[in-house]
Chains A and B, each alone.
Chain A
């Protein structure tokens, strides 16, 4: 019996290997792209893995072990595991029992759960009303829950944070609309539609088709009401999205050809293309009393009655509807044909995606958002070649870039937006879902993000997108706000216990932080300050200690060993003293630092857990938490 089982397992393993080999080879090939060189295995290490996770998945929730495994795999293999558009990526962010009973692919479903008294809801009882779909007084959809739900999802285990970061990019930067223009219901559906579209296809033109035909976009830009009079042929509408369709979705600015043609033919005809795109309404949706909340993102391009009983003329309101599939418009020097706006947008998307300006600009837009603030002309050429080789597939392109020497080179850098920085730091600081849900929302990332001008679905440049890393880096007031946050509200990243209830009449529960779950002890079973400091640095900054200079080390050592700053430890009569790197090389001050670094911590003491929180607050307010570079030791 036993030997038979072994035989079956062995046979199964062999079978699995035979299947895995081609799969691995495929994975490697799919990640290698023209124009980009894959980083050498010898240069691929834990810092490289963390760098990818920070840039592409808000840091993710992978365990130390998993990060170690990825660092030992070939980068082409590792990145395929790290970055995918599956609903759940267990290696990147494993669901925890009892915390995520719905799939984390729909903000609507998450908000409905988190705002409810469903027994499966893990959110603390006192916070649930903030996630309500409706504003109680007005019976209309509330934006508050929307603003809270997305950031919470982005630090909830079980959510594929790469999938969501790409959806965030597409809806808040690339094909961005503002909640003020779209409304709460439509913009939330737009995000959910985008997540779904990514799970179905990572082809750029498919994703842009989804955006261009989405009712939220049509409503926000106003072309949902555009039409061509069926008898006079007169066009009624605006050319807003007709222009931005090219510039924003495809990176076509019309600078490579006669501007008059671009303005007078391409844009004007595209405005006519965008006719017959009225959005349907479903009365009573979300139990809202506001008709705007009843609107649906999925446009039905036929003539029909919607659930509200309105007669919608999306076929006959479209230009030259009588010609059916032979209704054509000249756009980008191509004849774009189709019976409806949907058909024409499908055809136009193919043309636009392969337009030279789009081929040149789209990969750079992606990289500026995910990876690199400054792209040299040589790097741009490489990225453009890679985009072409990836056949305009976002997933292939981003994977190829994530393991490229271009991304990992020492002098590459990207400033984090306040979205990125706060989420990366919270994902590193929060150890499990209970911690995340037990804390009140204002101890999460949403408040500091807001104070630093980063509010999801409310992009600061409207259709031109949300706060960029450059914006954040230039924002001196944002820097002040970040420092204020860590100093005045250190409990956000450093709290060690939280009492909460899951129902009004239930017994209070208590969550306590336990860093020993993740911080490894040394061979003697001790947690020595110097080791803990290096571990924390790598977890939050991920540069292998390249910037963990002597001054930073001294402060972290002092905070961990004593709960006080270094100057207070060295000379309590001179607590404002500054100690330079040279001071820390030798002599009394250096000796104090060495002593502090050698201190053994007692993780059973809640006070020492709190000191780790102090160290986290210190580390995450240093310059190295505001940008990533390729620097690594």
Chain B
């Protein structure tokens, strides 16, 4: 047993000797970050990249798209208006007046059919007019009306998956595995979802980069010039622990050991994050439009900023696929107010994507400018019922519209935009637009649509990511082969 006084002597000695000598030693000895000139931000080639935008809650895209007052089937229009009248202001005397106030007219370049896109989604409207938006009507991503199960179906890219097991792979995770190498999924939202997860049980996050704030990814390091500060001491102690113990537990502990996850986090963040942070510091700063972007949903504004930065450093990120999200589409009540602000945030003029894409267009162009290499896919849990409920909202349905947006997309409508059978008696004599609970009939499976999108990313990859897609539903008379220009 050491005596108390001896202990003090040793402590004093240790502290004094360490403090006195640390400052000099650390600056000379530490390799540190790369110098700024090594990190010059030269324009990079952007790979073809899918951006999965998950609109959680079950978006009512029938509200986003409505037939023009000139729709040839007046019976259909009349029934649709009756079914959904309560979603709109009581001040509207008729459908035409409502449409004129609420919707922006457009026409499908493939069929010539006119329809409206809600005016809160003015940017989306312009994209459609520019031929960059493909709308696949009567799509389905699941076979149920439950949020959790349907979101899992959407994330997994398996409409027929019936188990409620979140410890599984998602289509984003499968895509980066198919792309091979060290390619990653990059999650821009608050949480890493099933979409990102890979197929290796126990290590599903191996290819996931969580970039909730692209300008602040790195783990804290010891402070240059202050090696004896509390911050520096703790930063070094933790780094030393994770880096020394990590390789040991990867050998000693079974794959199911739950703590592996945190060693993996540490490794992943230390491997690339400091490099990305340093690189971005030498790149174009966030434009004012993005910095000052204010949306009803501030998280989505941050995701828009992150997307801009992702496009500046795709190589550092080993970019494979991007994940974004926006919640709040479960519009059982007062749909007009709720969905209106959502539409404006995501699809509106000056909204998150408009602002981000406008800024991305200004990035110095490499051979493959980023703006031309992104394709957005908009997913949601499910569609909603055709008839408005008694609370000026809509209840859970199934079929919906899928949307793909980007320079590479062949814009237009794929499928019957407003199916006439909704206004005709079915085999039991019920007219869907007059039948409570009726919804858009899901005919085209989303894995089929996504398989085409993945084929655009890499030739013939779709079947690997969506092995069941060939058996997925497809609306009669519709071909998805021309969704992409090539």
Contacts and interface: CB of A to CB of B under 8 A. Distances in A.
Interface of A: 221-223, 225-226, 235-240, 243, 247, 253, 255, 259, 263-264, 268, 373-374, 411, 413, 415, 453, 460, 462, 464, 467, 470-471, 473-477, 479-480, 483-484, 486-488, 490, 524, 526, 528, 547, 549, 551-552, 555, 558-559, 561-569, 572-581, 595, 598-602, 614, 617-618, 621-624, 626-627, 629
B485 interface: no
> What are the nearest 10 A-B pairs in CB distance?
A236-B390, A623-B262, A222-B333, A565-B237, A623-B259, A476-B210, A600-B7, A240-B332, A477-B212, A479-B265
A475 B262 CA distance: 10
B26 A575 contact: yes
Contacts of B390: 226, 235-238
Given A524-B1, A575-B236, A627-B258, A477 B244 contact: no
Contacts of A240: 330, 332-333, 395
Interface stretch (B14-22, B64-72, B132-140, B359-367): B14-22
B244 A576 contact: no
Contacts of B11: 561-562, 599
14 contacts: A238-B390, A460-B191, A462-B57, A475-B190, A479-B266, A551-B241, A562-B11, A564-B228, A576-B240, A617-B234, A618-B238, A623-B262, A626-B259, A627-B259
B240 A563 contact: no
Contacts of B230: 490, 614
A614 B147 CA distance: 44
Nearest to B246: A623
A462 B391 CA distance: 19
A569 B149 CA distance: 54
Contact of A618 (B190, B234, B327, B389): B234
Given A483-B238, A487-B234, A526 B1 contact: yes
A157 B11 CA distance: 35
Given A572-B22, A573-B29, A453 B236 contact: no
B166 interface: yes
A558 B390 CA distance: 67
A238 B333 contact: yes
B395 A566 contact: no
B333 A561 contact: no
A551 B208 contact: no
B417 interface: no
Nearest to B333: A222
A563 B17 CA distance: 12
B53 interface: no
Nearest to A473: B261
A574 B234 contact: no
A239 B258 contact: no
A622 B2 CA distance: 30
Contacts of A480: 217-219, 265, 269, 273
B293 to A, nearest CB: 20
Contacts of A237: 389-391
Contacts of A626: 259, 261-262
Interface of B: 1-4, 7-8, 10-11, 14-15, 17-18, 21-22, 25-26, 29-30, 57, 144-149, 162, 164, 166-167, 190-192, 205, 208-213, 217-220, 227-228, 230-231, 233-238, 240-241, 243-245, 248, 256, 258-259, 261-263, 265-266, 268-269, 273, 327, 330, 332-334, 389-391, 393, 395-396, 436-437
Nearest to A181: B333
Given A237-B391, A453-B190, A552-B245, 5 more contacts: A488-B231, A526-B4, A559-B233, A565-B236, A599-B11
A238 B332 contact: yes
B219 A568 contact: no
B333 A264 contact: no
A575 B22 contact: yes
B258 A629 contact: yes
A284 B219 CA distance: 49
Contacts of A374: 167
Contacts of B219: 480, 483-484
Contacts of B389: 237-239
Nearest to A562: B14
A526 B5 CA distance: 12
Contacts of A222: 332-334, 391, 393
Given A575-B22, A575-B25, A623-B259, A552 B241 contact: yes
A129 to B, nearest CB: 24
A462 B148 CA distance: 11
Contact of B241 (A486, A555, A561): A555
A192 to B, nearest CB: 25
A187 to B, nearest CB: 17
Nearest to A242: B395
A52 to B, nearest CB: 19
B294 to A, nearest CB: 17
Contacts of A221: 332
Nearest to B253: A547
Contact of B240 (A415, A464, A488, A566): A566
B146 A483 contact: no
A152 B363 CA distance: 47
Contact of A580 (B192, B208, B248): B248
Contacts of A373: 258
A552 B147 CA distance: 43
A355 B420 CA distance: 40
A324 B245 CA distance: 70
A238 to B, nearest CB: 4
B308 to A, nearest CB: 18
Contact of A574 (B3, B7, B29, B212): B29
Given A264-B437, A559-B233, A238 B391 contact: yes
A618 B273 CA distance: 22
Nearest to B25: A573
B244 A580 contact: yes
B268 to A, nearest CB: 6
Nearest to B210: A476
A558 B14 CA distance: 10
Contacts of A598: 1-2
A483 B244 contact: no
A575 B223 CA distance: 13
A134 B218 CA distance: 39
Contact of B391 (A226, A473, A627): A226
B200 to A, nearest CB: 14
Nearest to A469: B258
B260 to A, nearest CB: 8
Contacts of B1: 524, 526, 528, 598, 600
Contacts of B262: 473, 479, 622-623, 626
A137 B423 CA distance: 53
A602 B7 CA distance: 9
B436 A268 contact: yes
A565 B233 contact: yes
B392 to A, nearest CB: 9
A471 B191 contact: yes
A540 to B, nearest CB: 15
B244 A621 contact: no
Nearest to B221: A487
**Most chain A beta-carbon neighbours within 10 Å: one of B245, B258, B332, B396:** B258
